[in-house]
């Protein structure tokens, strides 16, 4: 069974949508292997989003991601990466399909409610970034 990494970003936690998003995750068919509330430090955000460091939005992104608590999750399902990306919708909520998490809860491209891994390889890296093996069910 495959895994992906998911994050409920500070905008969605702040606006009280975390509970509904967790219910949405379970209704979409994922098993939650790990979950915690954490305020990401600026240094952690810079490292997590290092791949975007040359982009114009990088400073804004890492500042936002460290601005308040997030919920980080390790999710399991068949085709977990693809299923989660389909469940959350496009990065920009204006382009996200009806019924997706970003369509329902995101404000804009930056404050877009949730994150999802873009490949199986990055899913493993991102899960390991936030979770010790002992923090995962069955780990
Ligand atoms: P995420 O899936 O967490 O991965 C990279 C993030 O960069 C993305 O979600 C967006 O929140 C953010 N991002 C992408 N493009 C922009 C943009 N033009 N302005 C601000 N943030 C952006």
Reported as a single tens digit per residue, the pLDDT across 69-104 is 999 999 999 999 999 999 999 999 999 999 999 999
pLDDT at res. 138: 81
Domains of the chain by start residue, with CATH = 2-135 (3.30.70.141)
**Complex ipTM > 0.95:** no
Pocket test for ligand 1, best of 59, 66, 91 (most atoms within 8 A of CB): 91
Distance 70 CA to ligand 1 centre (A): 16
DSSP state of 39: -
pLDDT at res. 89: 98
Task: Identify the residues whose C-beta falls under 6 Å from ligand 1.
Answer: 52, 57, 60-61, 91, 109-110, 112, 115
Residues in contact with 3: Cβ distance below 8 Å, sequence separation at least 6, in sequence order: 33, 74, 75, 76, 80, 120, 123, 124, 127
The mean per-residue pLDDT over the stretch 28-45 comes to 98
Q: For residues 46 and 50, what is the distance between their CA atoms, to the nearest angstrom?
A: 6
pTM of the model: 0.97
Going by pLDDT thresholds of 50, 70 and 90, the confidence category of residue 139 is low
Q: Is 24 designated active site? A: no
Q: Is the pLDDT of residue 9 over 80?
A: yes
Q: Is the pLDDT of residue 134 over 90?
A: yes
pLDDT at res. 22: 98
How many Å is the maximal CA-CA distance in the chain? 40
Q: Say whether 38 counts as a known binding-site residue.
A: no
Instruction: Return the residue whose CA atom lies nearest to atom 22 of ligand 1.
Output: 110
């Amino acid at each position: 069974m495959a895994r992906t990494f998911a994050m409920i970003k500070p905008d969605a936690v702040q606006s009280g949508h975390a509970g509904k998003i967790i219910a949405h995750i379970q209704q979409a068919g994922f098993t939650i292997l790990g979950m915690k509330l954490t305020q990401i430090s600026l240094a952690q955000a810079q490292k997590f989003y290092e791949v975007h460091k040359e982009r114009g939005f990088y400073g804004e992104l890492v500042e936002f991601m460290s601005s308040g608590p997030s919920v980080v999750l390790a999710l399991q399902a068949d085709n977990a990466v693809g299923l989660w990306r389909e469940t959350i919708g496009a990065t920009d909520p204006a382009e996200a399909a009806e019924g997706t998490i970003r369509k329902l809860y995101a404000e804009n491209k930056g404050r877009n409610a949730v994150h999802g891994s873009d490949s199986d390889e990055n899913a493993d890296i991102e899960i390991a970034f936030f979770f010790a093996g002992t923090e995962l069910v069955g780990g």
